[in-house]
Amino acid sequence: MREHVILAESAGFCYGVQRAVDLAQRTAEETRGCWMLGDLIHNAHVVEDLARRGVRKTADAGALGKGDTVIIRSHGELKEVLDALEEQGVACVNATCPNVCRIQKLVAQAEQEGRQPVIIGEPHHPEVRGLASWCAHPLVFDGPEAVKMWLAENPKNRETPVTVVSQTTCIRELFETSWKIIKKECTNAKKFDTICNATHKRQTEAASIAGKVDVMVVVGDRKSANTKHLTEICMRRCPRVLQIENADELSPDFFDGCSVAGLTAGASTPAGIIKEVYATMSEEIKAAEGKEESFEELLNQSIKTLNTGEKVTGIVTAITPTEVQVDVGAKQAAYIKLSELSDDPTAKPEDIVKVGDEIETYIVRVNDVEGYAELSKKRLDAQKVWENIENAVEEKTVLEGTVTEENKGGIVVSVKGIRVFVPASQSGQPRGADLSAMIKQKVQLRITEVNRARRRVVGSIRSVTDEARRAAQEEVWNNIEVGKHYTGTVKSMTSYGVFVDIGGVDGMVHISELSWSRIKTPSEVCKVGDTLEVYVIGFDAEKRKISLGVKDHSVEPWDVFMGKYSVGDVANVRIVKLMTFGAFAEVVPGVDGLIHISQIADRRIEKPEDVLSEGQMVDAKITAIDEEKKKISLSIRALLAPAVEEAEEEAPVEE
């Protein structure tokens, strides 16, 4: 059956919009009525439906007070409005798209770092106005011409450190063109690609469909920026483009002479409206065709002409020990040899296809005399893989493969049956590392070079790992705060502390923060590769330095000691330092006591090391506790010679 309307897979609600609508509906049910500031999303039908559910609309945030609940729209809100709502005691349910929240943080962080935030987008759009409010002096440009004007105004602008972001629904070409100008002219420019992936996918798919159809229909609210951008993109590829809000706006005249039409929709368009438009379009196009095709015409159209080298789709009708038979709607009988079914010689045909399956194949040979056609699924699969590999270079797609061997100068990764050479420098491993250890590992990589004629493909694992590392580092720096806890991994050790990876960023734990016990080297308590629970003591975002701690300061060692021991108790202690006048011993981690030289043995000794050594465990009696000065006197002698007179003067505690 011929397809009259091609519907974009990405049409309709994106994740952020769906999340906002779900939050609003749920909040309305839980609170028995709540508010939204302006339209929650750019779609009048959805806003009306929310109103029926108890989500009332107001444009005056100042009219709300304690006891009210307000939903913050998916585009985000002005920071000063959010601050005012908090002061008024209004309960806020933040339905701002997570992508928009990320840009708000980037803009605020840029200004904190002394950089000039630059936003590429529509200056009057609610999202852009909201983003701009997260810094004191934003610059908003609607495209490359505005960027050029700013640079021309003052030569010193070129020396300004800038951080460039974009509206989530910005047309990619507009953003990239603006960035190229800034990158070329400015001496210190940083870019964050903040165009929503769903938006980019939607725009790319719309452009692709528009280039294949006679008519293109775009559905969405007229106030929606992403719908307007979709319309602009489609108009570049299709001569007849119509933007509508619902099926009522469709006219039969619009589809005159149209045999196939395309349909896409903005991110704020609900599925019900899309479905209604799709059905109406299909009926209008059928009616516009204006005639019934004869049985003979239908029969002739149903019989395909097969040509060697073309793709053909058919239905599996039988599976035999030697071949798979396929009905391709042609006069010739078509079949696939088992050797042409799959690259895997051990694969069973019934595991790959089943009777009744639709299968796309490549025509190897057509024999009109004997009335058969040889097909190949394997060759078509290989062709598709090569096409995907070639597209991956342009689109910088991340692919997954398995390392199969170590080669001269690098490794080989199998990506869907294609051998991809990865140079050692792009393997993501340190120089001189044993690359054979990577064999059989699954890895992610980007394709950097393809020569299909020579069947040569080169890739890079490092570009993916570096990007992931940078993303992880940005995540850490965007959310780090004093007191925050992390589970980290010990990366390296020095005499004065250890460096711990807390997610792509290394922080330093000074030796004094590793343990309450006295230690001489970090190796006494940890080693490279160990997992440590750490918390942030302090950080310098500009210098990219983080100080971490391991010791739990919520537990005071002296309180632990006092809760466990009293004068007269015997403790098993560790000798931590030998002095001329005695030895210091650890009673509990972080609390030491003094064993005076006169209390080490039941005889006179010249120096403590004649009897004791550092690290030695001994039993000692607690003879005195000075709570005010937090000092403890210990005695080994008291356990060796219990008959010593109690009246004997205690040796003073020294340090």
List phi, psi (to 5°) of 387. -65, -40
How far separated are the first and last CA of the chain, in Å rounded? 95
User: How many alpha carbons lie under 13 Å from residue 508 in its C-beta half-sphere?
Assistant: 14
> Residue 549 and residue 535: Cα distance in Å, rounded?
5
> Residue 7 and residue 251: Cα distance in Å, rounded?
19
- Residues whose CB falls within 8 Å of the CB of residue 286, separated by 6 or more in sequence, listed in order: 4
Q: Are 374 and 365 in contact (CB under 8 A)?
A: yes
3-state secondary structure 20-65: HHHHHHHHHHHHCCEEEECCCCCCHHHHHHHHHCCEEEECCHHHCC
Q: Would you call 259 helix, strand, or coil by DSSP?
A: coil
Q: Are 121 and 168 in contact (CB under 8 A)?
A: no
CA distances for 341 relative to 336, 350, 367, 464, angstroms: 6, 11, 20, 33
Both tokens of residue 420? Answer: 């991809």
> Residue 295 and residue 343: Cα distance in Å, rounded?
42
List phi, psi (to 5°) of 446. -115, 145
CA-wise closest residue to 42 among 283, 222, 175: 222
User: How many alpha carbons lie under 13 Å from residue 384 in its C-beta half-sphere?
Assistant: 11
Sheet with strand 162-166: strands edge to edge: 139-141, 116-120, 162-166, 189-191
Residue 522 DSSP class: G
DSSP string, 229-245: HHHHHHHHH-S-EEEES
> Residue 273 and residue 227: Cα distance in Å, rounded?
14
Burial class (CB in 10 A: 0-12, 13-18, 19+), 518: middle
Report CA 652 to chain centroid distance, whole Å: 62
To the query of whether residue 127 is one of the catalytic residues in this protein, the response is yes
From the list 77, 127, 284, 323, the catalytic residue is 127
Q: Are 288 and 250 in contact (CB under 8 A)?
A: no
Report the phi/psi class of residue 67: left, alpha or beta, with left for phi > 0 and alpha for psi in -120 to 50.
Answer: left
- Residues whose CB falls within 8 Å of the CB of residue 121, separated by 6 or more in sequence, listed in order: 127, 128, 131, 140, 142, 166, 167, 170
Residues annotated as catalytic are 127
